[in-house]
Amino acid sequence: MENSIGFSASHWGPPVNGKKTADRLIAEEPLAIRVEGKPYVVVMRTPGDEIAQAAGLCLAEGLVELPSDIASLGVCEADNTNVVTITLTPERRKCIPDKLDRREYISQTSCGICGKEVVSELYQSIQPLVDETVFDIQEAIACLNALPEQQPLRRQTRAAHAAAIYNKDLICLCVAEDVGRHNALDKAVGKLFLDGRLSSAKLLILSSRISYELVQKAARARIPVILAYSRPTSLAVTLADSLNMTLACSDGGSGLYLFCGEQRLKPS
């Protein structure tokens, strides 16, 4: 990942794990996403995979449904990857006038709304998942436990989140890392979306807790199962349950806590 590592830090004190280390700091920079020539959002992220991140965010927010909805997508200038511009097809623009005006930007922090209203609004804009792919629970746990091995940026910085996406045969399709868990998921989803492989995505592994925003993004990507290292929030479980999704997290040992959608995880 380009420019993903920033400054170094020297270590003072007793050796860690028997040796002294000089850890690197993860980079964090703004990414401005412009839609139809207008500023849409600015996010703080780790540089790299800007095009995929923008595509993943546009899918999550309902700006696009298919790659063919995008007329053009690219960085502003060859030497500036901190600005991505997106142009939609005329047909797609006609379908989403409110979203382009950001009157339906659900995932941003908003005052004056409660959890029930958030779930109600998202339920109206996202159809429940009908995919009933079943995974062997021990094999799914093995995928969760394998995530650290797929995180080179975390090994260097101890500060990166990751999202890994698997198909029905538990073959890893994509992994992305970022300082923000939302960005990591947008990058992973965006890569598969632009490659035309998102329909194969069945299992999402997260390094973080599961917030309702991550459930929203997974639901928009039509990924039915989410496993994570940390527990979900109550709102995440409510939303996932209403959308017929499966949520589970590590129990800190060799098992899982299952919160909803247990029918997709079966013992051997």
Helix/strand/coil for 79: coil
In a 13 Å sphere around the CA of 57, the CA atoms on its Cβ side amount to 27
The whole-angstrom separation of Cα 191 and Cα 132 is: 24
Question: Has 95 been annotated as catalytic?
Answer: no
Catalytic residue among 58, 95, 111, 172: 111
Are the C-beta atoms of residues 31 and 82 closer than 8 Å to each other? yes
Are the C-beta atoms of residues 45 and 28 closer than 8 Å to each other? yes
Q: Which residues pair with residue 246 across a beta bridge?
A: 225
Tokens 């993004």, located at residue: 217
Helix/strand/coil for 136: strand
Active site amino acids: 111
